[in-house]
Structure 1
Amino acid sequence: MGTAALLAAVAVVMCALPHLAAAQDSSSANQSLSDLVDSDLQPVNSTKALKTSEQSVVRVLVVYRGYGGVPLDTVGMGSGFVVAPGYIVTNYHVVEVPPEASSADIYIVPHKDSGATYQPVQLVKKWVEGDLALLAAPGLKVPPLKLYLTPYKNERVVTMGYPDVTDHLLNRSGTALLEPADAYVTQGSIALFASTNPDGSRVETLFHTAPINHGNSGGPLLNECGQVVGVNTWTAPSSVSTAGNLDVSAGQYVATHVSALNSFLSSASVTPTVVTTPCYAKSEDEIVKDDALSRVLAAAAEAQVQRLAEQKKAEADRAAMEIWQLGAMIVLSVLVLILIGLIIRREIRHRTEIHNKEPLAPTAFDEPARPEKVKPPKPEKAKAEWVPHDRVKLPGIKHPIPWGWIALALIIIVAVVGFLIKEREIDSRLSKPKVAAPVATAAIQHMSCDVDKSMSANPLPDAGHIEFDFDLVHACVNGRTPYERQADGNLLRFTTGDANPVAARMELTADGTLFTRYDYRIDPAQYKTFVAQKAALGSLRCSANADAGALAALGENLARIRTLSQSYLTMAPETKTVWRCKAS
């Protein structure tokens, strides 16, 4: 009973092991799935971010007074924005008192969605060289904008402000300008950085292509996350040519760099909110369009994690079953040996009892007695001698252990155990690992290709002769570049440029004799997002010695990159280049 209880306890523990392993696999699967979600790759909704930032942009009105405090007919106008609680930044030339006036009253008109009304403000600090002014508005309850100190060239930007040309078109004048309204918004990109401004002062400056007009002076230049990267200050002036025509310098707009603004605020003991993380933003329409792709990628990632978890659980179950089978065979072997021992012990006792009762009686272990030749008796009678009973010689007793049966039982047990081990995965773990058979050299061909100009529509300018090693079996080029095999047998691959915002679609026929490349130009911001999402899938390399699991994972990643690429390569390709190849 003690042995049976012990065996039952062992059985319970062995049954619980696969379930514990499955629970651990499920936990690790959930952890792996959470690791796939990178918060840095989640874009900011630029539509909402810019709408929120717009509420911090104000109109600046300056009422000039002559000597004796009499208001003049002219009014100065510009834009500004909140940089810290109760503080507003604008251009100094917006609030500067002209020579014909003795003083000026400065007012701000907040955005219509801010919930505030117009109010007077005070000039607390100016910077003439940088054309910046700091205004104090203690009663203003509007959240400040954040500063991003490291904008980059070609970054998409937005200007916000209150240009007077818009007021004229809407017939706003007089008291209508004191009513909160919407800001005017334009888009462009950063074109150039400079260390001096148009006035010749050594002030960090940037050029951009987001149009501004009179009245935009002092307004913010924002990135797509609604963060300040500059203060709009200048626009290239129009001029009259020698022929009397008006020349307009389109696209030349200048802003004071945000780093200069930050230095100015520090000198005034004002601490703005500074952001160091690069802006990664998409419009609400772009996010909606990407939702389908995001769901597909997330579902594929989760399915892969679940498959790995199920595979680990199956391996744990198989290992537990192997342990059970081996344990059962060991127990069975011990029981057979014990049974043989009991049989031998019982036979020995039985023989001893029979021998004590009938010493001359034969047993099952005695050899059959051979008939002896009997000599004919002699004619004369011989006297019979009396022999004592204790001198009678008994036939010899052979050892009762059946060695033949024991050997046969052991052979059967060893054969069954060897068969069970050989048929299970444990055999591969106990034996030496098998070396993978080398791939036949005939499967790898060296291809030599030349451009087919008749089939190439607008080919690449530098397209010429190319050569590569083509592995037909593994769809691998040069031993490292994988291609995705399509239903028709042709091979497909997508790639991106290292420096320029371009992407390419490359197709290779199943026999490697025709190679086609399509090149697409992508918007720089979309290209940056595309490269980040593509890099998140990991590096891709092919190998002739890869196992089945590695090949399956590579195929899934190639399918994800194809789905991702097709969402960006929606326009017609700029170039199409076709090479005809021959095996050499």
Structure 2
Amino acid sequence: MIRRLAALFAFLALLSPIAATADPADIDAAARGVVRIVIVEHEGDSVIAVSHGTGFAVSPERIVTNSHVIQQAQDDPNLFIGIVPSDGEEAVYGRVVSVSQRNDLALIATTKAMNLPPLTISGNPETSSGVVTAVGYPMNVDRAQGLGMADIFQATPPVKATGSLAGRRPSRQFDTLLHTAPIARGNSGGPLVDECGRVIGVNSFGAESGSAEAEFYFAVSNRELLPFLRANGVTPQINAMPCRSLADVDAEERQRAQAAASAEEARARAEEQALARRRDEARRGVEFAILDERDNGLALAMLLVVIALGAGGFGWLAHEQEESRKGRIAAGVAVAALVAAAAAWFMRPPFTEVEERLADMLREEMAADETGAMPTPAAAGALVCTLDPARSRIVGAASETVPFEWSSDGCVNGRTQYGLQGGAWSRVFVPADESHVSVNRFDPATGEYRMERYLLSREELAQVRDARRAYEPPACSAGEDAAQELGARQAAILSLLPDQPNERLVYGCKAAE
């Protein structure tokens, strides 16, 4: 029956081409939390390996594997569980925390601190199709490399084998995923991860098949894994976001920037067109106003001339009648009217005044618009930063909001000084007990807060930590020179990091209410 199902799924798999291959950086990052589980016995001062499987960290000191991997150690008190990390750290013993034989799961605690990087569990995994990778320690690869049981205590990177999902399969009374990522003896208990390196299942067993038939394998699904972890007090990192590569995020960011630039160009063109229409309307209004003023001035001048002529005539008559007093008054009125007429004529606005009046009018309108515009709040003081999933690449668990208090001298939350370089503020964090480096950046002009995380190998971390030990970050309010010195010091660490981070969280910050 299993062979017929395998053949059927192989045919269906051929009908659905596999999507793009998994991102090697994500798979490598996940593999750093994968360990070899070795069942050992003591013979005098010697430690002898009896069998081995695979496990992966769900917290710095908790490891998941299959129950059948550690079954021998449970049945025989003379056998012990060893944990061999992949990055060269010292192997330690483990103790059983919980075993669930029903769904082939076991939880092991380290007896010494290992500070393993926990793998992220997919909260909404694809179960019907897609690219998956099995990470573990297959025995046939050890044999091909000439490694015997005495050599498996050496730290070696796990094998990563890629295949595709073939759907969910309830089997052996528990929920499983069927897939084609090759596994062999020794892979048991290792993670099955998606293209973002997130766990979607725990590899358990394979389907029997002949050489001419397709190979299919079963992994315990997250429907079994998550309740098991929670029942044993483990709160794993869960991510239910769609799996997107950083290249996809960057491409969308470029498209978003191009769309914003196009929208800004369209807005500028619309404003220019509106301004041109307003300028034409204003020009016509100014021209009409000047024509009215010129006509009014002409009419006033003519009226005053008429008055002057009338006063002159009256004065002449008064002079003829020897009424000198009346004549003088009439003459004065005539002269005044002529002077006023001349003033009315020459004070008419010239047509050349159109441009000057138009410029003054437009300046007054622009000043009114600027006065009425809402001011942009400065990115300082207490802020609330909200995650923008569309611009982020979320691999682990991410907070939707982050409180963030910013001061103009680069001090965050009153205790962390950011470095200043090239006009940009940033702070590099290198934890002593974790396997990642975080680079946080803040742009006060836009209110953008960006957190990028790099998961590094043991050798890479050693180099970064050496560079970090070379300086001591200044305290807040130490001055701009100290901030610039910190920015220059951090550049040495940034030069050691990969070109792309494993995770990028982008937040938009606004003033807290």
- TM-score normalized with structure 1 length: 0.47
For the residues of structure 2 that align with 1:76 and 1:263, how far apart are their CA atoms?
28
Relative to 1, partners in 2 of residues 1:179 and 1:72: Cα closer, same or farther, differing over 3 Å? closer
2:286 corresponds to 1:315: no
From 260, 263, 287, the equivalent of 1:328 is 287
| 1:222–1:228 contact (8 Å) kept in structure 2 | yes
1:220 to 191, 201, 207: 191
1-side partners of 2:75 and 2:287: how far apart? 109
Aligned-partner Cα distance in 1 for 2:148–2:183: 20
- Give the AA of the match of 1:104: L
8 Å contact from structure 2 (residues 178, 218) kept in 1: yes
Opposite residue 180 of structure 2, the aligned amino acid is T
Whether contact under 8 Å (2:39, 2:49) holds in the other structure is no
Q: Shift of residue 44 of structure 1?
A: 12
Contact 1:237 1:248 in 2 (8 A): no
What amino acid maps onto 1:206 in structure 2? L
State the 4+ residue runs in structure 1 displaced beyond 3 angstroms.
Answer: 69-74, 98-103, 246-249, 290-301, 358-361
Match of 1:119 among 75, 92, 99: 92
Whether 1:279 aligns to 2:243 is yes
2:296 to 325, 337, 340: 337
1:558-573 paired onto structure 2 within 5 Å: none
Cα 1:54–1:321 shift into 2, 3 Å: same
CA distance in 2, matches of 1:268, 1:294: 41
Higher Cα Rg: structure 1 or 2?
A: 1
Q: Is the 8 A contact 1:62 1:75 kept in 2?
A: yes
C-alpha distance in 2, partners of 1:356/1:100? 141
Structure 1: tracts of 5 or more residues without a match: 1-42, 239-245, 362-416, 418-584
SS at match of 1:178: coil
Structure 2 CA distance, aligned partners of 1:175 and 1:72? 9
SS in 2 for 1:134: strand
Matched with 1:305 is 264
- Alignment partner, residue 266 of structure 1: 230
The separation in 1 between residues aligned to 2:74 and 2:45, in whole angstroms, is 15
Partner of 2:35: 58
C-alpha deviation, 1:344, in angstroms: 1.0
Per-residue Cα deviation, 1:451-470 (whole angstroms, up to 9, x for no partner): xxxxxxxxxxxxxxxxxxxx
Query: What are the within-5 Å matches in structure 2 for residues 66-145 of structure 1?
Result: 75-97=50-72, 101-112=76-87, 115-137=88-110, 138-145=112-119
Instruction: State the 1:292 CA deviation.
Output: 8.9
RMSD: 3.4
Please tell me whether the aligned partners of residues 22 and 194 of structure 2 are also in contact (alpha carbons under 8 angstroms): no
Displacement after TM superposition at 1:189 (Å): 1.7
Secondary structure of 2:152's counterpart equals helix
Distance 2:55 2:103 in 1: 15
- Structure 1 counterpart of 2:144: 169
Counterparts in 2 of 1:231 and 1:303: CA distance versus 1, 3 Å: same
Change (3 A) 1:70 1:168: same
* Pair 1:180–1:47, CA change in 2 (3 A): same
Could you report, residue by residue, the CA deviation over 1:541-560 in whole angstroms, capped at 9, with x for unpaired residues?
xxxxxxxxxxxxxxxxxxxx
Deviation, structure 1 residue 271: 0.8
Count of residues in correspondence between the two structures: 300
1:237 maps onto 2:208 in alignment: yes
Native 8 Å contact 1:65 1:101 kept in 2: no
Cα offsets for 1:172-192 (capped at 9, x unmatched): 124321111111111112111
Counterpart of 1:148 (choices 112, 118, 122) is: 122
Query: How far is 1:136 from its partner?
Result: 0.3
Residue 71 of structure 1: CA displacement?
Answer: 8.7
Equivalent residue letter for 1:168: R
1:184 aligned onto 2:159: yes
Q: TM-score, normalised by structure 2?
A: 0.53
Amino acid at match of 2:197: G
1:250 aligns with 2:209: no
Q: CA deviation at 1:166?
A: 0.4
**Structure 2 portions without partners, runs of 5+:** 1-19, 321-353, 355-513
After TM superposition, list the pairs within 5 Å mapping 1:510-521 onto structure 2.
none
**Number of the residue aligned with 1:211:** 182
Look up the equivalent residue of 2:190 and give its one-letter code. Answer: G
**Residue identity in the other structure for 2:86:** H
Matches within 5 A, 1:485-524: none
Aligned-pair distance for 1:214? 0.7
Tell me the distance in 2 between the aligned counterparts of 1:110 and 1:333: 93
CA contact (8 A) 1:97 1:103 kept: no
Distance across 1 between alignment mates of 2:267 and 2:22: 34
- The 2-side partners of 1:310 and 1:346 are apart by 53
Task: Pick closer, same or farther for the CA change 1:293–1:132 going to 2, 3 Å.
Answer: closer
What is the Cα deviation at residue 266 of structure 1?
A: 0.9
State the partner residue of 1:157: 132
For 2:308, what is the secondary structure of its paired residue?
helix
Deviations 1:98-145 (A, max 9, x none): 798443211111112xx5221111111100101111000141111101
- AA partner of residue 25 (structure 2): K
Choose 299-308 or 76-85, whichever is displaced more. 299-308
Contact 2:39 2:51 in 1 (8 A): yes
Distance 2:47 2:307 in 1: 136
Q: Tell me how far apart the structure 2 counterparts of residues 45 and 299 of structure 1 sit (CA, whole Å).
A: 28
- Indicate if the aligned counterparts of 2:123 and 2:239 stay in contact, CA closer than 8 A: yes
The reply on whether 1:349 has 2:320 as its aligned counterpart is no
What is the rounded CA distance, in whole Å, between the counterparts of 1:146 and 1:293 in structure 2?
A: 24
In 2: Cα distance, 1:333 partner to 1:165 partner: 101
Pair 100,261 (structure 1): closer, same or farther in 2 beyond 3 Å: closer
Q: 1:48 aligns with which of 25, 38, 51?
A: 25
Provide the rounded CA distance (Å) in 2 between the counterparts of 1:46 and 1:103: 42
Q: 2:121 and 2:251 mapped to 1: Cα distance? A: 33
Q: Distance in 1 between matches of 2:198 and 2:131?
A: 12
1:279 counterpart letter in structure 2: C
Q: 1:274 corresponds to which letter in structure 2?
A: I
SS of equivalent to 1:204 = strand
Change (3 A) 1:247 1:58: same
Q: Which amino acid aligns with 1:343?
A: M
Contact preservation (8 Å) 1:64, 1:97:
no
CA offset digits 1:475-514 (Å, max 9, x no partner): xxxxxxxxxxxxxxxxxxxxxxxxxxxxxxxxxxxxxxxx
What is the letter of the counterpart of residue 58 of structure 1? V
**1:21-43 CA-partner distances (Å, limit 9, x unpaired):** xxxxxxxxxxxxxxxxxxxxxx9
Q: Distance in 2 between matches of 1:247 and 1:159?
A: 21
User: Is the alpha carbon distance of 1:278 and 1:107 closer, same or farther for their aligned partners in structure 2, counting shifts above 3 Å?
Assistant: same
Report the AA paired with residue 123 of structure 2.
Answer: L
Per the alignment, residue 547 of structure 1 pairs with none
